[in-house]
Amino acid sequence: MIKNTLIEALGIEITHLEPGKVIATMPVDERTRQPFGLLHGGASVALAETVASIGAFELVDKETEGAAGLEINANHVRAVTEGTVTAVGTILHQGKTTMVWDIKITDEQDRLICISRCTMAVIKRKK
């Protein structure tokens, strides 16, 4: 599923997956930096939504449902110029039509880089 997607292009790797929790890493390199050498805020948001999307998909009935991002916000609290960042997503709310995920992104020293909240829509799949 990840081949030829934004996930692959940004070097995102899912390292842990369980119901209600997802952990993923992403390199801070030429693919994810903005022109001034810092981790691009959009790359952090893409990592956060990836974690929430994969987590939400693991909780739906895969035969009849899917999940899609409905809303996301992010606060970028620390700059990063190199290394790897880690996103830990945990579910805050699991409803019939929406889920809310909390995602914290940290650097290799476990310092908070970005905090994000993502609302996922649970959608019915067409048969």
Residues that are catalytic: 49
Adjacent-strand bridge partners of 83: 28
Q: Report the alpha-carbon distance of residue 116 to residue 58 in Å, rounded.
A: 20
Residue type, 43: A
Q: Report the alpha-carbon distance of residue 24 to residue 113 in Å, rounded.
A: 14
- Cβ neighbors of 123 (< 8 A, separation 6 or more) are 65, 66, 67, 68
Q: Is 120 exposed, middle or buried (0-12, 13-18, 19+ CB in 10 A)?
A: buried
